[in-house]
């Protein structure tokens, strides 16, 4: 274990435990082919999850990867492994540091479980990424790593090109926001490990005591720890939600 800990200063969590309800029936979205003719080095169709994980596996600064998988699924880890390219499965640097965590009822609880699993390896920092963002590239990963080493918490933001409005439940606009100070959050989001683990523990306690929901990890850090820095996101780093997002 000591050797593993020494090499695992930066870890990555890739979320793939969701039900993919909005994709319709059939294969879970993270396990679907990325596109016709898009193959891995072995000529197999490259999956959404395989592309996402592969981007992090290719970065030598990342020493351990945890993938969250659906809880209770019969295939479980085997299904997730079958969606990964050989470049990940045979990566000597990552083995045996490619881990799988059974997900919870929400994205937040799934990430919490992955962080709890990572705590045995005691990384200094962790990047948390949506497994349904397959077009993440090495540049945004490096940008996030550099920023988290400096600021302890960072989120990639994509500038808005249209003017946002805030509205209430009655259907009336309540605030006219300036798009110059509003952005769309992406992943990977980076954090100092011990602090984000503690923030998730506090968020879990708050969820137990009342009706609250957290949509990303930067929100959790901001509520329980402190400020979150921003880095430039990428228009290519899209999230797959509906079937047409793969076309």
Asked whether residue 127 is domain-assigned, the answer is yes
Does residue 130 fall inside a structural domain?
yes
Cis upstream peptide for 114 (omega within 30°): no
What domain range includes position 118? 2-239
* The two three-digit tokens of residue 99, written as one number: 């881990």
Q: The domain that contains 29 carries what CATH number?
A: 3.90.550.10
User: In this predicted structure, what is the pLDDT of residue 40?
Assistant: 86
Residue 244 in domain:
no
Q: Which two tokens stand for residue 74?
A: 């019969």
If one counts the domains in the chain, the total is 1
Residue partners of 101: CB distance under 8 A and separation at least 6: 66, 67, 68, 69, 110, 113, 114, 116, 117
Instruction: Identify the three-state secondary structure at position 203.
Output: helix
Q: Is 225 helix (H, G, I), strand (E, B) or coil?
A: coil
Tell me if the bond preceding 188 is cis, omega within 30° of 0: yes
Task: Say if 194 falls within a structural domain.
Answer: yes
Examine residue 94 and state whether it is found in any structural domain, yes or no.
Answer: yes
Q: Looking at the domain assignment, is residue 80 inside a domain?
A: yes
Tens of pLDDT along the chain (247 residues) come to 444 434 449 999 999 998 766 665 667 899 999 988 888 888 899 999 999 999 999 999 999 999 999 987 657 899 999 999 998 998 888 878 999 999 999 999 999 999 999 999 999 999 999 999 999 999 999 999 999 999 999 999 999 999 999 999 999 999 999 998 899 999 999 999 999 999 999 999 998 877 788 999 999 999 999 999 999 999 999 999 888 888 6
Q: Are strands 10-15 and 64-69 parallel, antiparallel or unpaired?
A: parallel
First to last CA, the chain: 44
Alpha carbon separation from 202 to 36, 129, 142, 193 (Å, rounded):
44, 21, 29, 14
Phi-psi sector, 142: left (phi>0), alpha (psi -120 to 50), beta: alpha
């Amino acid at each position: 274990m000591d050797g593993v800990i020494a090499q695992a200063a930066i870890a990555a969590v890739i979320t793939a435990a969701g039900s993919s309800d909005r994709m319709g029936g059939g294969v879970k979205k993270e396990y679907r082919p990325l596109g016709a003719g898009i193959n891995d080095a072995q000529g197999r169709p490259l999956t959404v999850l395989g592309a996402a994980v592969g981007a992090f596996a290719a970065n030598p600064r990342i020493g351990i990867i945890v993938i969250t998988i659906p809880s209770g699924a019969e295939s479980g880890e085997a299904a997730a492994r079958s969606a990964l390219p050989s470049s990940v499965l045979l990566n000597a640097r990552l083995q045996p540091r490619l881990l799988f965590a059974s997900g919870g009822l929400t994205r937040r609880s799934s990430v919490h479980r992955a962080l709890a699993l990572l705590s045995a390896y005691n990384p200094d920092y962790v990047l948390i990424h949506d497994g349904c963002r397959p077009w993440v590239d090495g540049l945004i990963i490096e940008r996030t790593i550099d920023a988290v080493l400096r600021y302890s918490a960072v989120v990639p933001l994509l500038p808005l090109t249209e003017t946002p409005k805030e509205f209430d439940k009655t259907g009336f606009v309540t605030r006219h926001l300036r798009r110059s100070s509003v952005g769309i959050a992406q992943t990977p989001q980076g954090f100092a490990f011990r602090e984000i683990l503690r923030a998730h523990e506090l968020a879990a306690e708050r969820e137990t005591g009342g009706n609250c929901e957290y949509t990303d990890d930067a929100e959790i850090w901001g509520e329980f720890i402190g400020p979150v820095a921003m880095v430039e996101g990428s228009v290519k780093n899209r999230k797959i939600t509906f079937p047409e997002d793969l076309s």
